[in-house]
Chains A and B, each alone.
Chain A
Amino acid sequence: MFENLTEKLQRVFKNLRGEGKLTEENIQQALRDIRISLLEADVNFKVVKQLIDRIKEKSLGQEVLTSLTPAQQVVKIVHDELVELLGGGAAQLRFASQPPTVILLAGLQGSGKTTTGGKLARWLSRHGHRPLLVSVDVYRPAARRQLTVIAEAIDMPIFEGPAGPADPLELARLARREAANTGRDVLVVDTAGRLHIDDEMMGEMQQLKQQLEPAEVLFVADAMTGQDAVKSADEFHRRLGLTGVILTKMDGDARGGAALSIRSVTGQPLKFVGVGEKYDALELFHPQRVVSRILGMGDVLSLIEKAQETVDLKQAEEMQRKLLSDRFSLGDFRDQLRQMRKLGPLDQILGMLPQVGPFRQLQQVKLEEKELVRIEAIVDSMTPRERNHYQVINGSRRRRIARGSGATVQEVNRLLKQYAEARRMMRTLSGGFMAKRMGKLKLPSALR
């Protein structure tokens, strides 16, 4: 769908390889493409305009480095600029000097506050804290019940308050007292979703803040948000003085440009991203990753990190050696697929890869889980020689393999093609795709 920005720019700079300077003229088209790419990623158009000006300023007159193509160089400038805007590293949560620390969650309707409240409590308890949950959403049907169910699921205490109608401020007051009395050091407060233009509800939020004196007022925002992100974030910040942002639903394919929009109107750091409906699906915010994603380069870093957790490192190094020496056999391919299955649903893995070069072809391959079983059967019915030297697999061998595995010849053909793609992909991944392209970003050594 989207052409990757690097690819686009490569076309733009086709004629300018390793020579001369980036000039007004040759950069014009590039800037246009960058602008479109950012707009398609839902970065607010005003923010885009400013960014483009800065990128232009930084690019002009730069010598084209011999180590990078001009396209790569411009992408690097864009990338660095966005990372700088997002504030470099991951931001930490702040805690009050006097417990309990209060964390107030705020945001528009349906952004993910209640779910994030549960995730945060779980995260806090994993990091040595003793959180208490409370919902002061007395408005939405079954909103408080929702947090109770979540608290049960993650085995965290919740302050439910007296039965019957309740007042948010009163609930908050009682919950805070409960936390102090029971030695809970963090109180996570889930609030009702509200529109930034709802004066009364925003007033309630201000009162809550005044009463609770939270160490953190976190704006919970949906990664799919479009241009309006600047308006809502701006108003929430103006009324509440936000201290941080959590971007939810990053497990989809939204490019997440709202991160830049929100950051630029509030100036507050993004602290976490939500990456699923389960309560462990909360990750620290990493600017580089989000920027790669906004630029359509795929979340390669996340993939690699995930791979590192799941993949046997020894085996990975062995695989790496094989790849470099071009001895990546069909048997290895089969093992690799098994490893990939351990990583999670395939479409999720493929979703994290950039839509570029060899990866793009792999997306089209569309492996189904079922198909993996079939692939294993096909590879199993090959001789060791065939697995190690796929070139020898001629027509009659293909027919034999098909018969042996209960597959059709077409399926065997398809597998061989996929294998060829995978060889290419694995080589790119392990050869340090990002490291080469972005210079700065380093791959974990185990996979390099």
Chain B
Amino acid sequence: MPIQTLFGPPPPPTVFERLQEAVSSTRQNLAERIEEAVHGQKEIDAGLLEHLEATLLGADLGVATTTEVLDKVRQQVDRRQVSDAGQLTGMIKQELLEILKRTDARAGTQAGSLCREFPQVVLVIGVNGVGKTTTIGKLAHQLISDNKRVLLCAADTFRAAAIEQLEIWGQRTGTEVIKQKPGADPSAVLFDAIGSAKARGIDYVIVDTAGRLHTKSNLMAELEKMSRTAGRAVPGAPHEVLLIMDATTGQNGLQQARRFTESVGVTGIILAKLDGTAKGGVVIAIARELKLPIRYVGIGEQKDDLVPFDPEQFIDSLFRETPR
């Protein structure tokens, strides 16, 4: 008889202990386990599909997208009677690529037509703290390296020291910043900025806006007003409305994309903070529903930490375990 009985049975594990144990196994290399599962077994069984489902859910693709993709793959498996489990990952990757490719038509509009109006006005928007201001610094750096003339517009007049933050990015990239006092009407700053851009033959006005949750109707109205102001000052403006998405964002990202698109017509997404362990898979759910192209990804806090979005690489990374 175990000695424990002298002291009564050992206490049952608490809710935490159980969960902690369960979750800590995510630390193990999940993707590796899947690869193992995939290559180690020939039979495609429910357990394997479950593993793949976990990969997609764990990358923030969301239930709807994950289910759709897996259903399609399952159908293909049935039809073609694929028996080799090793092909499964490839098939899923292909499905995901299709979703991202369907946004290409819209992505093409950025290629620029001949009769472009100048300055091009780029509105940078998103919820709080996602990386708007930093991304603007990086964008400015890129455009300037490309010999473009850029002006930054400090239209976040709300957040503490937001203007100063943008000014430092202006200094870092050698870009002028048009600003007013904290609390000023963002549309007024924007109007100013476009005015000076016109006077100086600027190519791009990049507009830093205050972070706002898409649920706040007054703040969304403020954004709409900025968009109208831009349109009155330059035909076709804003020419780009870039929604910054934090790679750590979960399913709320979809709601963000919906509301911002409804409000000011998002033209593209930049996925920031992809240098962490988050996969940013919600952008696939967004691409699936709203056909919004992903333009760039942010991979750090320095001015050249912005790279063009590469769908294949991105999808590969969903299946790869990021080192801790």
A265 and B130 contact, Cβ closer than 8 Å, known pairs A142-B161, A149-B161, A231-B26 = no
Smallest CB gap from B256: residue in A? A224
Residues of B within 8 A of A85 (CB): 15-16, 19
> Do B279 and A252 touch across chains, with their CB atoms under 8 A apart?
no
Looking at B72-80, B88-96, B186-194, B243-251, the stretch in contact with chain A turns out to be B243-251
A376 at the interface (CB under 8 A from B): no
B23 at the interface (CB under 8 A from A): yes
A195 and B276 contact, Cβ closer than 8 Å, known pairs A146-B160, A226-B60, A252-B252 = yes
Residues of B within 8 A of A267 (CB): 16, 20
A39 and B57 contact, Cβ closer than 8 Å, known pairs A50-B18, A110-B246, A228-B276 = yes
B283 to chain A, nearest CB (A): 11
> Do A228 and B248 touch across chains, with their CB atoms under 8 A apart?
yes
User: Which listed residue, A110, A148, A347, touches B217 by the CB 8 Å rule?
Assistant: A347
Measured in the bound complex, the distance between the Cα atoms of B305 and A195 in whole Å is: 15
> Do B127 and A224 touch across chains, with their CB atoms under 8 A apart?
yes
A142 and B215 contact, Cβ closer than 8 Å, known pairs A42-B251, A197-B277 = no
B25 at the interface (CB under 8 A from A): yes
A254 at the interface (CB under 8 A from B): yes
A84 at the interface (CB under 8 A from B): yes
User: Contact flags (1/0) for A216-237 with B, using CB distance below 8 Å?
Assistant: 0000001011111111101100
User: Contact flags (1/0) for A84-116 with B, using CB distance below 8 Å?
Assistant: 110000000000000000000000111110110
Residues of A within 8 A of B147 (CB): none
> Do B248 and A108 touch across chains, with their CB atoms under 8 A apart?
yes
- Kindly name the residue among B130, B158, B248, B322 whose own CB sees the greatest number of chain A CB atoms within 10 A: B248
A399 to chain B, nearest CB (A): 32
> Do B128 and A141 touch across chains, with their CB atoms under 8 A apart?
no
B197 at the interface (CB under 8 A from A): no
> Do A258 and B165 touch across chains, with their CB atoms under 8 A apart?
no
B293 at the interface (CB under 8 A from A): no
Residues of B within 8 A of A345 (CB): 216-218
A414 at the interface (CB under 8 A from B): no
- Kindly name the residue among A112, A143, A225, A255 whose own CB sees the greatest number of chain B CB atoms within 10 A: A225
A232 and B277 contact, Cβ closer than 8 Å, known pairs A45-B57, A146-B161 = yes
> Do A264 and B246 touch across chains, with their CB atoms under 8 A apart?
no
Residues of B within 8 A of A351 (CB): 215
> Do A265 and B129 touch across chains, with their CB atoms under 8 A apart?
no
B228 to chain A, nearest CB (A): 18
Smallest CB gap from A148: residue in B? B161
User: Contact flags (1/0) for A30-73 with B, using CB distance below 8 Å?
Assistant: 00000010011110111101110010000000000000000000
A209 at the interface (CB under 8 A from B): no
> Do A226 and B251 touch across chains, with their CB atoms under 8 A apart?
yes
User: Contact flags (1/0) for B112-152 with A, using CB distance below 8 Å?
Assistant: 00000000000000011111000000000000000000000
A186 at the interface (CB under 8 A from B): no
A36 and B63 contact, Cβ closer than 8 Å, known pairs A140-B301, A197-B277, A231-B277 = yes
User: Which listed residue, B27, B248, B250, B253, touches A257 by the CB 8 Å rule?
Assistant: B250
> Do B168 and A224 touch across chains, with their CB atoms under 8 A apart?
no
A277 at the interface (CB under 8 A from B): yes
B84 at the interface (CB under 8 A from A): no
> Do A149 and B160 touch across chains, with their CB atoms under 8 A apart?
yes
User: Contact flags (1/0) for A336-379 with B, using CB distance below 8 Å?
Assistant: 00000000010110010000000000000000000000000000
Residues of A within 8 A of B54 (CB): 45
A176 at the interface (CB under 8 A from B): no
Number of interface residues of A (CB under 8 A): 69
Measured in the bound complex, the distance between the Cα atoms of B24 and A265 in whole Å is: 7
User: Which listed residue, B58, B159, B249, B301, touches A277 by the CB 8 Å rule?
Assistant: B159
> Do A227 and B57 touch across chains, with their CB atoms under 8 A apart?
yes
A145 at the interface (CB under 8 A from B): yes
> Do B218 and A264 touch across chains, with their CB atoms under 8 A apart?
no
B136 to chain A, nearest CB (A): 11
B276 to chain A, nearest CB (A): 5
Measured in the bound complex, the distance between the Cα atoms of B251 and A261 in whole Å is: 14
> Do B19 and A50 touch across chains, with their CB atoms under 8 A apart?
yes
User: Which listed residue, A142, A230, A277, touches B158 by the CB 8 Å rule?
Assistant: A277
> Do A44 and B131 touch across chains, with their CB atoms under 8 A apart?
no
Measured in the bound complex, the distance between the Cα atoms of B218 and A347 in whole Å is: 10
- Kindly name the residue among B26, B130, B158, B279 whose own CB sees the greatest number of chain A CB atoms within 10 A: B26
B22 at the interface (CB under 8 A from A): yes
A229 to chain B, nearest CB (A): 8
Chain A residues at the B interface, C-beta cutoff of 8 Å: 1, 36, 39-42, 44-47, 49-51, 54, 81, 84-85, 108-112, 114-115, 139-143, 145-150, 153, 195-197, 222, 224-232, 234-235, 249, 251-255, 257-258, 261, 263-265, 267, 277, 345, 347-348, 351
Q: Apart from A110-B131, A222-B246, list 15 A-B contacts with CB within 8 A.
A: A46-B26, A109-B129, A141-B169, A142-B168, A146-B162, A227-B60, A228-B248, A228-B279, A229-B248, A231-B278, A232-B248, A234-B23, A252-B214, A263-B16, A264-B23
Name 19 interchain pairs, CB-CB below 8 A, sorted by A.
A45-B57, A46-B25, A47-B19, A84-B15, A108-B248, A109-B131, A114-B160, A141-B172, A147-B160, A150-B160, A226-B249, A226-B282, A251-B215, A253-B252, A253-B255, A257-B250, A264-B16, A277-B159, A345-B217
Chain B residues at the A interface, C-beta cutoff of 8 Å: 15-16, 18-20, 22-27, 54, 57-60, 62-63, 127-131, 158-162, 164-165, 167-169, 172, 211, 213-218, 246-253, 255, 273, 275-279, 282, 301, 322-324
